[in-house]
Each structure stands twice: as structure tokens, then as C-alpha cells.
Amino acid sequence: MKTQMTNYLEIVGADYATGYQIRLSFNNGTQRMMDFEPFLRKATNPDITKYRQLRNFKKFHLHYGDLMWGDFEMIFPIEALYQGKI
């Protein structure tokens, strides 16, 4: 697959896969499967632990190229998601 060069990185697609996994598509053609379960299991903040319930976890959305839950309750740096590190 050929990737195109861009001056910025953004998420252009996010599809629920299974469990706590989301398939992310970036504007340079890169795709990455991210597993958020380890992060959620370690979380202690109630604003984040509520996303351990799958019905809440599945309510993610893209906001100007960022993957987020709620009103900025849970959001990750795009570069970290691109590198597969959360």
C-alpha cells in the first residue's frame, strides 16, 4: 500500500472491532488496531473507568481528527495512537 505525505497527522476512520479494540485509519494511509483494555484496567479516574462498560466504550467518535469519548473525557495524543502506545 502506498502512503501519501501530509504535513499533519489525523485519524480519518475509527471502527469498533471487538472487546476494547478499535481499528484506526490515519490520513497517510496507515491503519492500526488499538487495544484499550490494558489502559482501562489500570485507570482509577471515574471519568475513565466508566468506559470499562462496553456500551460506554463503543460511544467513541472522531472530533477534528481526534479519537475521543464524551466531551473530552477520554482522548489520546494522535502521535501516541499512531505509534501504538497508550
* CATH at residue 15: 3.30.2020.10
- Does the predicted TM-score (pTM) go above 0.75? yes
> Is residue 2 situated within a structural domain?
no
> Is residue 78 situated within a structural domain?
yes
Write down the pLDDT at residue 80. 95
Write down the pLDDT at residue 68. 96
Nearest to 74 by CA among 17, 83, 58: 58
Write down the pLDDT at residue 2. 55
Write down the pLDDT at residue 7. 79
> Is residue 4 situated within a structural domain?
no
- What domain count does the chain have? 1
- Which residues of the chain register pLDDT less than 50? none
Q: Which domain holds residue 16?
A: 11-83
> Is residue 3 situated within a structural domain?
no
> Is residue 5 situated within a structural domain?
no
> Is residue 48 situated within a structural domain?
yes
Per-state percent for the chain, helix, strand, coil, to nearest 5? 25, 30, 45
Q: Is 59 helix (H, G, I), strand (E, B) or coil?
A: coil
Place of cell 460511544: 59
Write down the pLDDT at residue 18. 97
Write down the pLDDT at residue 3. 55
